Amino acid sequence: MPCAGSRTGQKTETNRVKKGNNRFVIMTIPYDSLSLTRKLISFKTINPPGQERSCAEYLGELLREGGVTVSFHDFDEGRTSIIARLEGTGEKAPLCFTGHMDTVPLGTAPWDTDPFIGEVDGDRVYGRGASDMKAGLAAMVIASLRLAKISDRIADFTLVLTACEETGSKGAEHLARLDNVLGKPGAIVVGEPTSNYPLVGHKGPLWLRATTTGVSAHGSMPLQGVNAIYKAARAVTKLEEYGFDMDPHPVLGSPTLNVGTIAGGVNINSVPDRASFEIDIRTIPGMTHSGLFRHLQSYLGEEVELDYLLDLGNVATDPQNGWVQEVFDIMEPFLNERPEPRGAAYFTDASIFTPALGNPPTIILGPGEPTMAHKTNEFCYIPRIEDATEVYFEIAKRWCAA
Ligand SMILES: [Zn+2]
Protein backbone atom coordinates (compact mmCIF):
# COMPACT_ATOMS: atom_id res chain seq x y z
CA MET A 1 0.00 0.00 0.00
CA PRO A 2 1.13 3.61 -0.39
CA CYS A 3 3.83 4.74 1.98
CA ALA A 4 2.77 7.52 4.33
CA GLY A 5 4.88 10.52 5.19
CA SER A 6 5.70 14.07 4.29
CA ARG A 7 4.84 15.07 0.76
CA THR A 8 7.16 18.00 0.64
CA GLY A 9 10.89 18.15 0.90
CA GLN A 10 13.28 15.27 0.70
CA LYS A 11 12.97 12.22 2.81
CA THR A 12 14.78 8.95 2.92
CA GLU A 13 13.13 5.69 2.08
CA THR A 14 14.21 2.93 4.43
CA ASN A 15 13.81 -0.75 3.85
CA ARG A 16 14.35 -3.64 6.15
CA VAL A 17 16.06 -6.24 4.09
CA LYS A 18 16.41 -9.84 5.05
CA LYS A 19 19.99 -11.07 4.91
CA GLY A 20 21.29 -14.56 5.69
CA ASN A 21 20.65 -16.01 9.18
CA ASN A 22 17.48 -13.94 9.46
CA ARG A 23 19.47 -10.85 10.31
CA PHE A 24 17.87 -7.62 9.16
CA VAL A 25 19.97 -4.73 7.99
CA ILE A 26 18.67 -1.28 7.27
CA MET A 27 19.36 -0.18 3.71
CA THR A 28 18.65 3.36 2.73
CA ILE A 29 17.69 4.90 -0.57
CA PRO A 30 18.49 8.62 -0.74
CA TYR A 31 15.14 9.59 -2.19
CA ASP A 32 11.46 8.92 -2.00
CA SER A 33 9.64 8.91 -5.32
CA LEU A 34 8.18 12.42 -4.94
CA SER A 35 11.58 13.97 -4.21
CA LEU A 36 13.06 12.13 -7.16
CA THR A 37 10.17 13.26 -9.39
CA ARG A 38 10.91 16.86 -8.42
CA LYS A 39 14.61 16.38 -9.05
CA LEU A 40 13.94 14.90 -12.49
CA ILE A 41 11.60 17.77 -13.40
CA SER A 42 14.55 20.12 -12.74
CA PHE A 43 16.48 18.58 -15.66
CA LYS A 44 15.49 20.39 -18.85
CA THR A 45 15.03 17.53 -21.29
CA ILE A 46 12.64 19.31 -23.64
CA ASN A 47 12.73 17.60 -27.01
CA PRO A 48 13.78 19.11 -29.33
CA PRO A 49 16.67 19.37 -28.55
CA GLY A 50 16.31 16.68 -25.84
CA GLN A 51 19.82 16.65 -24.36
CA GLU A 52 19.01 13.91 -21.88
CA ARG A 53 22.66 13.25 -20.94
CA SER A 54 22.81 15.10 -17.60
CA CYS A 55 19.51 13.55 -16.49
CA ALA A 56 20.81 10.13 -17.59
CA GLU A 57 24.13 10.60 -15.77
CA TYR A 58 22.32 11.63 -12.62
CA LEU A 59 20.02 8.59 -12.70
CA GLY A 60 22.90 6.32 -13.68
CA GLU A 61 24.89 7.42 -10.65
CA LEU A 62 21.90 6.97 -8.34
CA LEU A 63 21.32 3.46 -9.66
CA ARG A 64 25.01 2.54 -9.45
CA GLU A 65 25.18 3.67 -5.84
CA GLY A 66 22.23 1.36 -5.21
CA GLY A 67 24.08 -1.63 -6.65
CA VAL A 68 22.55 -1.63 -10.13
CA THR A 69 24.80 -2.15 -13.18
CA VAL A 70 24.41 0.76 -15.60
CA SER A 71 25.43 1.33 -19.20
CA PHE A 72 24.96 4.51 -21.25
CA HIS A 73 24.08 4.53 -24.95
CA ASP A 74 24.14 7.72 -27.05
CA PHE A 75 22.46 7.80 -30.44
CA ASP A 76 23.68 11.37 -30.97
CA GLU A 77 25.57 14.09 -29.09
CA GLY A 78 23.97 14.44 -25.65
CA ARG A 79 21.16 12.03 -26.51
CA THR A 80 21.78 9.40 -23.87
CA SER A 81 19.70 6.36 -22.96
CA ILE A 82 20.41 4.09 -19.98
CA ILE A 83 20.20 0.36 -19.55
CA ALA A 84 20.32 -0.61 -15.88
CA ARG A 85 20.48 -4.25 -14.90
CA LEU A 86 20.15 -6.43 -11.83
CA GLU A 87 21.29 -9.99 -12.23
CA GLY A 88 19.32 -13.00 -11.13
CA THR A 89 20.13 -16.69 -11.35
CA GLY A 90 18.52 -16.90 -14.79
CA GLU A 91 15.89 -19.48 -13.88
CA LYS A 92 13.34 -17.23 -15.47
CA ALA A 93 13.43 -14.73 -18.36
CA PRO A 94 14.21 -11.13 -17.37
CA LEU A 95 11.59 -8.52 -16.51
CA CYS A 96 11.94 -5.15 -18.26
CA PHE A 97 10.67 -1.76 -17.11
CA THR A 98 10.96 1.19 -19.46
CA GLY A 99 10.30 4.92 -19.61
CA HIS A 100 11.56 7.99 -21.45
CA MET A 101 13.51 10.96 -20.10
CA ASP A 102 12.60 13.61 -22.70
CA THR A 103 9.58 15.89 -22.54
CA VAL A 104 7.65 17.97 -25.04
CA PRO A 105 8.21 21.78 -25.23
CA LEU A 106 6.45 24.17 -22.86
CA GLY A 107 4.03 25.54 -25.46
CA THR A 108 3.23 29.20 -26.01
CA ALA A 109 0.81 29.81 -23.11
CA PRO A 110 2.41 31.09 -19.88
CA TRP A 111 2.70 28.68 -16.92
CA ASP A 112 1.37 29.57 -13.46
CA THR A 113 4.49 28.03 -11.87
CA ASP A 114 8.11 27.58 -12.87
CA PRO A 115 7.88 24.38 -14.95
CA PHE A 116 11.32 23.19 -13.79
CA ILE A 117 11.15 23.28 -10.00
CA GLY A 118 8.53 20.62 -9.31
CA GLU A 119 6.32 22.86 -7.21
CA VAL A 120 4.10 20.96 -4.79
CA ASP A 121 0.58 22.23 -4.11
CA GLY A 122 -1.71 20.01 -2.05
CA ASP A 123 -1.75 16.57 -3.63
CA ARG A 124 -0.18 17.69 -6.90
CA VAL A 125 3.36 18.17 -8.17
CA TYR A 126 3.66 20.55 -11.12
CA GLY A 127 6.18 20.79 -13.92
CA ARG A 128 6.95 19.88 -17.52
CA GLY A 129 7.09 16.12 -17.60
CA ALA A 130 5.40 15.65 -14.21
CA SER A 131 2.86 13.27 -15.75
CA ASP A 132 4.68 12.44 -19.00
CA MET A 133 6.68 10.89 -17.51
CA LYS A 134 9.15 11.89 -14.83
CA ALA A 135 6.87 10.67 -12.04
CA GLY A 136 6.80 7.28 -13.76
CA LEU A 137 10.59 7.29 -14.11
CA ALA A 138 11.05 8.19 -10.44
CA ALA A 139 8.69 5.44 -9.29
CA MET A 140 10.46 2.90 -11.51
CA VAL A 141 13.92 3.94 -10.28
CA ILE A 142 12.92 3.78 -6.61
CA ALA A 143 11.28 0.38 -7.15
CA SER A 144 14.48 -0.82 -8.89
CA LEU A 145 16.63 0.37 -5.96
CA ARG A 146 14.37 -1.52 -3.59
CA LEU A 147 14.59 -4.63 -5.74
CA ALA A 148 18.40 -4.32 -5.68
CA LYS A 149 18.26 -4.92 -1.93
CA ILE A 150 16.68 -8.34 -2.40
CA SER A 151 19.52 -10.77 -2.78
CA ASP A 152 17.69 -13.93 -3.89
CA ARG A 153 16.67 -13.10 -7.42
CA ILE A 154 15.74 -15.81 -9.90
CA ALA A 155 15.38 -13.49 -12.90
CA ASP A 156 17.34 -10.55 -14.27
CA PHE A 157 15.69 -7.17 -14.07
CA THR A 158 16.31 -4.52 -16.72
CA LEU A 159 15.40 -0.86 -16.47
CA VAL A 160 15.56 0.89 -19.84
CA LEU A 161 15.41 4.70 -19.71
CA THR A 162 15.27 6.14 -23.19
CA ALA A 163 16.12 9.41 -24.87
CA CYS A 164 13.99 10.94 -27.62
CA GLU A 165 10.66 9.15 -27.31
CA GLU A 166 8.55 12.23 -27.96
CA THR A 167 9.69 12.77 -31.53
CA GLY A 168 9.46 9.19 -32.74
CA SER A 169 11.15 6.74 -30.32
CA LYS A 170 14.66 7.36 -31.69
CA GLY A 171 16.41 6.35 -28.46
CA ALA A 172 14.43 3.10 -28.30
CA GLU A 173 15.14 2.41 -31.96
CA HIS A 174 18.87 2.90 -31.37
CA LEU A 175 18.87 0.48 -28.40
CA ALA A 176 16.87 -2.11 -30.33
CA ARG A 177 19.48 -2.02 -33.13
CA LEU A 178 22.40 -2.71 -30.75
CA ASP A 179 23.43 -6.32 -30.27
CA ASN A 180 22.59 -8.02 -26.99
CA VAL A 181 22.07 -4.94 -24.83
CA LEU A 182 18.37 -5.43 -24.12
CA GLY A 183 18.37 -9.19 -23.51
CA LYS A 184 15.20 -11.26 -24.02
CA PRO A 185 12.66 -10.11 -21.45
CA GLY A 186 9.69 -12.25 -20.57
CA ALA A 187 7.51 -9.21 -19.88
CA ILE A 188 7.65 -5.42 -20.28
CA VAL A 189 6.13 -2.59 -18.23
CA VAL A 190 6.00 0.84 -19.87
CA GLY A 191 5.62 3.66 -17.32
CA GLU A 192 3.69 6.12 -19.52
CA PRO A 193 0.79 8.02 -17.90
CA THR A 194 -2.28 5.87 -17.32
CA SER A 195 -3.49 7.16 -13.90
CA ASN A 196 -2.14 3.82 -12.65
CA TYR A 197 -4.63 1.85 -14.77
CA PRO A 198 -2.90 -1.13 -16.39
CA LEU A 199 -3.40 -1.05 -20.17
CA VAL A 200 -2.68 -4.04 -22.40
CA GLY A 201 -1.67 -2.27 -25.59
CA HIS A 202 -2.16 0.52 -28.07
CA LYS A 203 -2.68 1.04 -31.77
CA GLY A 204 0.26 1.40 -34.15
CA PRO A 205 0.97 4.78 -35.77
CA LEU A 206 1.38 5.03 -39.52
CA TRP A 207 2.10 8.65 -40.42
CA LEU A 208 2.18 9.60 -44.08
CA ARG A 209 2.87 12.74 -46.10
CA ALA A 210 0.80 13.26 -49.22
CA THR A 211 2.11 15.58 -51.93
CA THR A 212 0.37 16.93 -55.00
CA THR A 213 2.02 18.84 -57.82
CA GLY A 214 0.67 21.20 -60.48
CA VAL A 215 1.80 23.91 -62.85
CA SER A 216 2.21 27.48 -61.65
CA ALA A 217 0.66 30.41 -63.48
CA HIS A 218 -0.48 33.93 -62.70
CA GLY A 219 -3.53 33.93 -60.43
CA SER A 220 -5.44 36.01 -62.95
CA MET A 221 -5.00 33.28 -65.59
CA PRO A 222 -5.76 30.04 -63.75
CA LEU A 223 -6.56 28.11 -66.93
CA GLN A 224 -2.87 28.35 -67.85
CA GLY A 225 -1.86 26.43 -64.73
CA VAL A 226 -2.73 23.26 -62.82
CA ASN A 227 -3.79 23.89 -59.25
CA ALA A 228 -2.05 21.53 -56.75
CA ILE A 229 -4.32 22.69 -53.91
CA TYR A 230 -7.43 21.51 -55.76
CA LYS A 231 -5.80 18.08 -56.11
CA ALA A 232 -4.98 18.02 -52.41
CA ALA A 233 -8.51 19.14 -51.52
CA ARG A 234 -10.02 16.32 -53.60
CA ALA A 235 -7.73 13.82 -51.87
CA VAL A 236 -8.51 15.11 -48.38
CA THR A 237 -12.24 14.88 -49.09
CA LYS A 238 -11.79 11.30 -50.28
CA LEU A 239 -9.90 10.45 -47.10
CA GLU A 240 -12.74 11.78 -44.95
CA GLU A 241 -14.88 9.05 -46.51
CA TYR A 242 -12.25 6.30 -46.29
CA GLY A 243 -13.46 3.16 -44.53
CA PHE A 244 -11.12 0.49 -43.15
CA ASP A 245 -13.57 -2.36 -43.74
CA MET A 246 -12.55 -4.49 -40.79
CA ASP A 247 -14.01 -5.54 -37.48
CA PRO A 248 -12.90 -3.61 -34.42
CA HIS A 249 -10.29 -5.22 -32.16
CA PRO A 250 -11.94 -6.37 -28.89
CA VAL A 251 -9.64 -4.16 -26.79
CA LEU A 252 -8.16 -1.53 -29.11
CA GLY A 253 -11.30 -0.77 -31.12
CA SER A 254 -11.28 0.37 -34.74
CA PRO A 255 -8.43 1.87 -36.75
CA THR A 256 -8.59 5.64 -37.25
CA LEU A 257 -7.42 8.15 -39.82
CA ASN A 258 -6.95 11.89 -39.40
CA VAL A 259 -5.56 14.56 -41.71
CA GLY A 260 -3.53 16.68 -39.30
CA THR A 261 -1.84 19.35 -41.42
CA ILE A 262 -2.18 20.89 -44.86
CA ALA A 263 0.02 23.38 -46.67
CA GLY A 264 0.34 24.72 -50.18
CA GLY A 265 0.74 27.74 -52.38
CA VAL A 266 3.16 30.64 -52.26
CA ASN A 267 0.92 33.68 -52.55
CA ILE A 268 -2.66 34.63 -53.30
CA ASN A 269 -2.13 35.61 -56.90
CA SER A 270 -0.37 32.49 -58.17
CA VAL A 271 -1.68 29.08 -59.17
CA PRO A 272 0.00 26.76 -56.65
CA ASP A 273 2.24 24.08 -58.14
CA ARG A 274 2.69 22.16 -54.90
CA ALA A 275 0.61 21.20 -51.86
CA SER A 276 1.01 18.64 -49.13
CA PHE A 277 -0.85 17.28 -46.16
CA GLU A 278 -0.08 14.79 -43.41
CA ILE A 279 -2.14 11.75 -42.45
CA ASP A 280 -2.12 10.13 -38.99
CA ILE A 281 -3.41 6.55 -39.13
CA ARG A 282 -3.64 4.30 -36.07
CA THR A 283 -3.81 0.61 -36.87
CA ILE A 284 -4.93 -2.51 -35.02
CA PRO A 285 -3.76 -6.14 -35.16
CA GLY A 286 -4.48 -7.78 -38.50
CA MET A 287 -3.42 -4.77 -40.60
CA THR A 288 -0.10 -4.52 -42.40
CA HIS A 289 1.22 -1.02 -42.92
CA SER A 290 2.77 -1.77 -46.30
CA GLY A 291 -0.53 -3.20 -47.54
CA LEU A 292 -2.46 -0.22 -46.20
CA PHE A 293 0.04 2.16 -47.82
CA ARG A 294 -0.47 0.51 -51.22
CA HIS A 295 -4.24 0.52 -50.78
CA LEU A 296 -4.31 4.22 -49.90
CA GLN A 297 -2.02 5.07 -52.78
CA SER A 298 -4.35 3.39 -55.25
CA TYR A 299 -7.45 4.85 -53.50
CA LEU A 300 -6.08 8.38 -53.88
CA GLY A 301 -4.80 7.78 -57.40
CA GLU A 302 -1.92 9.23 -59.37
CA GLU A 303 -2.68 12.83 -58.39
CA VAL A 304 -1.19 12.12 -54.98
CA GLU A 305 2.23 10.81 -53.96
CA LEU A 306 2.48 9.23 -50.51
CA ASP A 307 5.62 8.98 -48.34
CA TYR A 308 6.22 7.40 -44.95
CA LEU A 309 6.85 9.71 -41.97
CA LEU A 310 6.50 7.16 -39.15
CA ASP A 311 5.77 3.46 -39.26
CA LEU A 312 5.47 1.70 -35.89
CA GLY A 313 3.54 -1.38 -34.91
CA ASN A 314 0.60 -1.82 -32.55
CA VAL A 315 0.93 -3.58 -29.20
CA ALA A 316 -1.81 -5.97 -28.12
CA THR A 317 -1.17 -8.31 -25.19
CA ASP A 318 -3.68 -11.07 -24.50
CA PRO A 319 -5.57 -9.91 -21.38
CA GLN A 320 -5.85 -13.55 -20.28
CA ASN A 321 -2.06 -13.93 -20.12
CA GLY A 322 -1.13 -15.21 -16.65
CA TRP A 323 1.26 -12.35 -15.87
CA VAL A 324 -1.29 -9.76 -17.02
CA GLN A 325 -3.83 -11.30 -14.66
CA GLU A 326 -1.23 -11.16 -11.86
CA VAL A 327 -0.70 -7.45 -12.53
CA PHE A 328 -4.49 -7.02 -12.44
CA ASP A 329 -4.44 -8.81 -9.04
CA ILE A 330 -1.81 -6.35 -7.78
CA MET A 331 -3.75 -3.35 -9.09
CA GLU A 332 -7.17 -4.34 -7.78
CA PRO A 333 -6.76 -2.94 -4.23
CA PHE A 334 -5.20 0.27 -5.56
CA LEU A 335 -8.04 0.87 -8.01
CA ASN A 336 -10.83 -0.47 -5.75
CA GLU A 337 -11.97 -2.55 -8.71
CA ARG A 338 -10.61 -5.28 -10.94
CA PRO A 339 -9.09 -3.73 -14.09
CA GLU A 340 -10.79 -4.44 -17.41
CA PRO A 341 -8.72 -4.96 -20.54
CA ARG A 342 -8.20 -1.55 -22.11
CA GLY A 343 -5.72 0.07 -24.48
CA ALA A 344 -3.95 3.43 -24.48
CA ALA A 345 -5.03 6.16 -26.88
CA TYR A 346 -1.40 7.09 -27.61
CA PHE A 347 1.55 4.97 -28.69
CA THR A 348 4.74 4.31 -26.71
CA ASP A 349 8.30 2.97 -27.00
CA ALA A 350 6.64 -0.47 -26.78
CA SER A 351 5.98 -0.09 -30.53
CA ILE A 352 9.75 -0.55 -30.86
CA PHE A 353 10.65 -2.76 -27.91
CA THR A 354 7.82 -5.30 -27.91
CA PRO A 355 8.31 -6.56 -31.49
CA ALA A 356 12.13 -6.20 -31.26
CA LEU A 357 12.20 -8.36 -28.13
CA GLY A 358 10.02 -11.18 -29.43
CA ASN A 359 6.57 -9.84 -28.46
CA PRO A 360 6.62 -10.53 -24.71
CA PRO A 361 3.44 -9.54 -22.81
CA THR A 362 3.49 -5.76 -22.37
CA ILE A 363 1.60 -3.53 -19.97
CA ILE A 364 1.46 0.25 -20.00
CA LEU A 365 1.09 1.48 -16.44
CA GLY A 366 2.19 4.76 -14.91
CA PRO A 367 1.24 7.35 -12.30
CA GLY A 368 0.86 10.31 -14.67
CA GLU A 369 -2.48 11.64 -15.85
CA PRO A 370 -2.88 10.98 -19.57
CA THR A 371 -5.02 14.11 -19.89
CA MET A 372 -2.17 16.23 -18.46
CA ALA A 373 0.47 15.04 -20.91
CA HIS A 374 1.89 17.83 -23.09
CA LYS A 375 -0.31 20.49 -21.42
CA THR A 376 0.44 23.87 -19.85
CA ASN A 377 0.56 23.57 -16.02
CA GLU A 378 1.13 19.81 -16.29
CA PHE A 379 0.89 18.05 -12.94
CA CYS A 380 0.84 14.58 -11.41
CA TYR A 381 -1.12 13.48 -8.36
CA ILE A 382 1.36 12.66 -5.59
CA PRO A 383 -0.57 9.69 -4.14
CA ARG A 384 -0.44 8.08 -7.59
CA ILE A 385 3.37 8.36 -7.61
CA GLU A 386 3.52 6.65 -4.24
CA ASP A 387 1.10 3.93 -5.37
CA ALA A 388 3.06 3.38 -8.60
CA THR A 389 6.27 2.92 -6.61
CA GLU A 390 4.61 0.21 -4.52
CA VAL A 391 3.03 -1.41 -7.55
CA TYR A 392 6.24 -1.46 -9.60
CA PHE A 393 8.12 -2.95 -6.68
CA GLU A 394 5.45 -5.61 -6.19
CA ILE A 395 5.43 -6.51 -9.90
CA ALA A 396 9.24 -6.72 -9.93
CA LYS A 397 9.41 -8.68 -6.68
CA ARG A 398 6.84 -11.27 -7.76
CA TRP A 399 8.69 -11.80 -11.05
CA CYS A 400 12.30 -11.64 -9.92
CA ALA A 401 12.46 -12.70 -6.27
CA ALA A 402 12.77 -16.34 -5.25
ZN1 LIG B 1 5.43 9.89 -22.68
166 Cα: distance to centroid of ligand 1 (angstroms): 7
Q: What is the pLDDT of residues 300-331, one digit of tens each?
A: 999 999 999 999 999 999 999 999 999 999 99
Q: What pLDDT, on the 0 to 100 scale, is given for residue 20?
A: 41
240 Cα: distance to centroid of ligand 1 (angstroms): 29
73 Cα: distance to centroid of ligand 1 (angstroms): 20
Number of neighbouring beta carbons within 10 Å of residue 71: 12
Q: What pLDDT, on the 0 to 100 scale, is given for residue 384?
A: 98
Q: What pLDDT, on the 0 to 100 scale, is given for residue 402?
A: 83
**CATH for the 13-202+314-400 domain, from 3.40.630.10, 3.40.50.10540, 3.40.50.10310, 3.40.440.10:** 3.40.630.10
351 Cα: distance to centroid of ligand 1 (angstroms): 13
Q: What pLDDT, on the 0 to 100 scale, is given for residue 30?
A: 67
CATH topology of domain 204-311: Alpha-Beta Plaits (3.30.70)
299 Cα: distance to centroid of ligand 1 (angstroms): 34
132 Cα: distance to centroid of ligand 1 (angstroms): 5
Mapping DSSP onto H, E and C, the string for the chain reads CCCCCCCCCCCCEEEEEECHHHCEEEEEECCCHHHHHHHHHCCCCECCCCCCHHHHHHHHHHHHHCCCEEEEEEEECCEEEEEEEECCCCCEEEEEEEEECCECCCCCCCCCCCCCCCCEECCEEECCCHHHHHHHHHHHHHHHHHHHCCCCECEEEEEEEECCCCCCCHHHHHHHHCCCCCCCCCEEEECCCCCCCCECEECEEEEEEEEEECECCECCCHHHCECHHHHHHHHHHHHHCCCCCCCCECCCECCEEEEEEEEECCCCCECCCEEEEEEEEEECCCCCHHHHHHHHHHHHCCCCEEEEEEECCCEECCCCCHHHHHHHHHHHHHHCCCCCCCCECCCCCHHHHHHHCCCCCEEECCCCCHHHCCCCCCEEEHHHHHHHHHHHHHHHHHHHEC
Q: What pLDDT, on the 0 to 100 scale, is given for residue 19?
A: 39
112 Cα: distance to centroid of ligand 1 (angstroms): 22
Q: What pLDDT, on the 0 to 100 scale, is given for residue 53?
A: 98
Q: Do domains 13-202+314-400 and 204-311 have the same CATH topology?
A: no
223 Cα: distance to centroid of ligand 1 (angstroms): 49
161 Cα: distance to centroid of ligand 1 (angstroms): 12
284 Cα: distance to centroid of ligand 1 (angstroms): 20
227 Cα: distance to centroid of ligand 1 (angstroms): 40
295 Cα: distance to centroid of ligand 1 (angstroms): 31
- Kindly give the parts of the chain with pLDDT less than 50: 1-27
Q: What pLDDT, on the 0 to 100 scale, is given for residue 17?
A: 41
State if pTM tops 0.85.
Answer: yes
314 Cα: distance to centroid of ligand 1 (angstroms): 16
Domain chopping of the chain, boundaries: 13-202+314-400, 204-311
Q: What is the pLDDT of residues 270-293, one digit of tens each?
A: 999 999 999 999 999 999 999 999
Give 18's strand partners.
24
Q: What is the pLDDT of residues 147-202, one digit of tens each?
A: 999 999 999 999 999 999 998 899 999 999 998 899 999 999 999 999 999 999 99
